Structure 1
Amino acid sequence: MTRRPRARRPRGRSRVGERFTVEVGPVAHGGHCVARLSGETDAGRVVFVRHALPGETVEVEVTEGTEGDRFWRADAVEVAVASPDRVEPPCPYAGADGCGGCDFQHVALPAQRSLKAAVVREQLSRLAGLDVAVEVEPVPGDDEGLHWRTRQRYVELPDGRRGMHKHRSHEVVPIDECLLEAGTDPTLHVRGRAHSVAEGGFWQVHPGAPEVLVATVLDQLGPRPGESVLDLYAGVGLFAGALADVVGPGARVVAVEADRDACEHARRNLGDAVEVGRGPVARVLAAAYDEPFDLVVLDPPREGAKRAVVEQVAGRHPRAVAYVACDPAALARDVAVFAEHGYRLSALRALDLFPMTHHVECIALLER
């Protein structure tokens, strides 16, 4: 989940390590808040601050930035005026010099969800021109925001210990325990259907995710017996299987997935009820399955489906599209493209599948 900074040429003198006192502004997409510096030299400079909350007054230390950069990145290292939503992080590794896996451990859980809702609203407004009410809902299966990751990856250290990367860094923090780790295997049975997944293959990591996602997609699409279904970025067939059960035998259900192992497991999980097509979604749609489909499910990776896929989906003239998104910016960009082709956002559900982090899962219904 931790991204590494791109190598780039410095634009003047480095300001890393310098400290400033700032009043913290609104939350922004990516797990930080926006602040602006005051003072004669750096007045108005935008700083993206981690470990802070809107409305606080904090001392920040610059972690990335040179004089010529448009913005800097910084950590809040001291809090002068705290938000009432600030709490003591439950994990000793959360904070400015700790593990980079969690963004919001310093925030009360209801306030975390409010911050995420604000980000989803802002992205849909800025990138899709929509004013949408958003509520981020808790999902059963975690322990007050902890112990929900049924799959976890660590860095193995030379001394036999394990660790995790700092935020936007290759530096590793040794840890004894990650409080997000569930310590249990993922649930692979959903609505009476068993799913096999390759070792290391994709499956939702929150224990409650598969059931609530399937229920939401079925509720939004309202599939009818005999309707045709196109499931894109289908993985091992979670949505395709559930929809095939509803539209019934003889209805055309197609699942498209690029990963070879996932396709093999999808065929095993779905049997003859679903046709599985392998390959990058844009490439497959350009060559096959060009007939109309009644329903489409989109569950793309973090970067979204993008224009080529959205336009090919619209070209199949589905009556409804369920878009499952783990990135609100990508969702908003794709919703804007759908709007160009006559599809409107008619329902949105946001789920807190990644507590303590800035990530949020959205399921959007698009209809002609």
Structure 2
Amino acid sequence: MSEPTSTPRLTVTVGPVAHGGHCVARHEGRVIFVRHGIPGETVEISLTEHDDEAKFWRGDVTRVLAGSPERVTHFWPEADALRAAVRHGAPVGGAEFGHISRKGQLELKTAVVREQLERLGGLRTAAIDALFSDGVEDVDTNGSTDQQAGLGWRTRVGFAVTPAGKLGMHPHRSHAVLPVQEMPLALPAVNELRLWELDFTGIDRVEVAAPANGSGVLVLLAPAADLSEKAAGAAVKRVARALAALETPPSVARWNPENSAIEVLNGRGWVRETTDDHEFRVSGDGFWQIHRKAPAVLTDVALGFLLQGGYLNDGADVADLYAGAGLFTAPLADAVGPDGSVLSVEGSAGTSRDARKNLHASEQVEILQGRVEKILGTQSRASRTAAGQRRRFDAVVLDPPRAGAGKAVVQALAATAPEAIAYVSCDPAAFARDVKYFANVGWSVEKLRAFDLYPHTHHVETVALLVPAVKATTSN
């Protein structure tokens, strides 16, 4: 990524917001994806990618000539493009919407969801209006003023390390590492460690998990790949000793990002997460919803859709796909009771082991580790009844990774002919593409809500109820 002082600067009018945290501008017919602007503004930008042969360029706002009413002072100096330009640097990523009012953020995210559903999902404007009249919903006001709302929500944070051994983060699309002195989006427990005061020489990545219930912080240390085993071990142990000396020492483990292997140095290699009704063990870098309110919001809405539609009853046969440590599996087991059954499918071996520990007392839950499309495929025993017939689910919760479920999973899932699917997505483009795949096999969106579970970033979470198109037509 080029520094602002070494690249051309242009004056442009910022156009509509696009998926990915930028807006679209044009200069002499060239499309430019502009970060840190707001639609309607006139700004000076520094081009960060501008190859003559490229279909589009990229740029960061360095000065605002005519600002939007929704522009506010960024709450985090290290992530503020305007202050970065003054110091002839680049802003760190992770808070690319921090210069926009909370109201403005919700409006832009709503526009992105709508545009993706229309362009990639193939939905008509009238259908989107009917499904999505509430737009993206705020869950994190906390009674704060506009600029302070949406801070202190991240329960997971990843950091890089500067060449000088200081805690840092990357600018957008850059391998550079810039030092940071705080992470305002993180829970207070993360910032209270004051990791930026420590020497991380020899460490490549630092991951911090801080459960919202206050049950204890876990710090994962990934040593630099170019170190010998002796040097790597020494670096990890040195940082672990420094962390152990803190007033409230966290658990510390050496971590291999390639295979998720954990070697505990202090405390334990997992954290304890809780919801109102359940407790979960989540190992190392195992997946858990990042926003402190996300587990409650997403389970309430996803299972609420299924319950309201009458798809979750005592004795029902349901599936939780990309099930993680069991966030949705546990309440699904409660809903179907001991006479029902829940198939839990998770690709990560470590996270699947967590699910087995978390759900060992729920005899109606079957936990399988592997690729969803293969387990649902015709050759899998899990997709067949005892009589050899294709297994049919009454309801399914589908919570894929950011890339979405994809065509193969959609087709395999539709072949099991469930009554309804609650689809939880953290990426509106991937979700919209999957909506189109579902439409191609005879399914449609019956209900849709979206939540700002990533304040001050461009990310947004959607929860949809999908049903066979014939049923949707009948119910309407």
Considering the TM-score relative to the shorter chain, is it more than 0.5? yes
Q: Which residue of 1 aligns with 2:202?
A: none
Q: Which residue of 2 aligns with 1:280?
A: 371
- Of residues 82, 95, 114, the one that matches 2:80 is 95
- What do you get for the CA RMSD once the two structures are aligned? 1.7
What is the CA-CA distance between 1:186 and the residue it aligns to?
Answer: 1.7
Find out whether 1:34 has 2:24 as its counterpart: yes
- Report the secondary structure of 1:118's partner residue: helix
Once the two structures are superposed, the pairs formed by residues 223-262 of structure 1 within 5 Å of their partners are 223-262=312-351
- Of residues 90, 106, 110, the one that matches 1:113 is 106
Separation (CA, whole Å) in 2 of partners of 1:288 and 1:219:
30
- Report the secondary structure of 2:48's partner residue: strand
Q: Which residue of 2 aligns with 1:215?
A: 300
Q: Which runs of 4+ in 1 moved over 3 A?
A: 140-143, 157-160
Q: Aligned letter for 1:24?
A: V
- Of residues 431, 434, 456, the one that matches 1:331 is 431
Q: Aligned letter for 1:87?
A: V
What is the CA-CA distance between 1:165 and the residue it aligns to?
Answer: 0.5
Q: Which residue of 1 aligns with 2:152?
A: 147
Find out whether 1:163 has 2:148 as its counterpart: no
- Give CA deviations for 1:111-143 in whole Å, capped at 9, x if unaligned: 101111100000000011213143111124876
Residues 244 and 273 in structure 1, CA contact (< 8 A), matched pair in contact too: yes
Q: Aligned letter for 2:442?
A: G
Residues 141 and 149 in structure 2, CA contact (< 8 A), matched pair in contact too: no
Q: Which residue of 2 aligns with 1:40?
A: none
Separation (CA, whole Å) in 2 of partners of 1:265 and 1:66:
47
Q: Which residue of 1 aligns with 2:54?
A: 69
Q: Which residue of 2 aligns with 1:20?
A: 10
Find out whether 1:289 has 2:382 as its counterpart: yes
- Between Structure 1 and Structure 2, whose CA radius of gyration is higher? 2
Using a 3 Å threshold, how does the CA distance of structure 1 residues 128 and 158 change in structure 2: closer, same or farther?
A: closer
Residues 141 and 208 in structure 1, CA contact (< 8 A), matched pair in contact too: no
Q: Which residue of 1 aligns with 2:121?
A: 128
What is the CA-CA distance between 1:288 and the residue it aligns to?
Answer: 3.5
Once the two structures are superposed, the pairs formed by residues 307-322 of structure 1 within 5 Å of their partners are 307-322=407-422
Identity, % of aligned positions: 49
Q: Which residue of 2 aligns with 1:13?
A: none
Separation (CA, whole Å) in 1 of partners of 2:157 and 2:418:
37
Separation (CA, whole Å) in 1 of partners of 2:381 and 2:403:
23
Separation (CA, whole Å) in 2 of partners of 1:159 and 1:61:
27
The structure showing larger relative contact order (alpha-carbon pairs under 8 Å, at least 6 residues apart) is 1
Separation (CA, whole Å) in 2 of partners of 1:171 and 1:160:
13
Find out whether 1:178 has 2:271 as its counterpart: no
Using a 3 Å threshold, how does the CA distance of structure 1 residues 108 and 156 change in structure 2: closer, same or farther?
A: same
Separation (CA, whole Å) in 2 of partners of 1:353 and 1:347:
19
- Report the secondary structure of 1:210's partner residue: helix
Give TM-score scaled by structure 2 length. 0.71
Q: Which residue of 1 aligns with 2:279?
A: 194
Residues 150 and 183 in structure 1, CA contact (< 8 A), matched pair in contact too: no
- Report the secondary structure of 1:245's partner residue: helix
Give TM-score scaled by structure 1 length. 0.92
Residues 31 and 103 in structure 1, CA contact (< 8 A), matched pair in contact too: yes
Using a 3 Å threshold, how does the CA distance of structure 1 residues 296 and 145 change in structure 2: closer, same or farther?
A: same
- Report the secondary structure of 2:305's partner residue: helix
The unaligned stretches of length 5 or more in structure 1 are 6-15, 38-42
- Give CA deviations for 1:164-194 in whole Å, capped at 9, x if unaligned: 0011001111011111111343242113111
Q: Which residue of 1 aligns with 2:33?
A: 48
Q: Which residue of 2 aligns with 1:138?
A: 138
- Give CA deviations for 1:26-77 in whole Å, capped at 9, x if unaligned: 000000000001xxxxx11000000100000011111012111110000111
- Report the secondary structure of 2:359's partner residue: helix
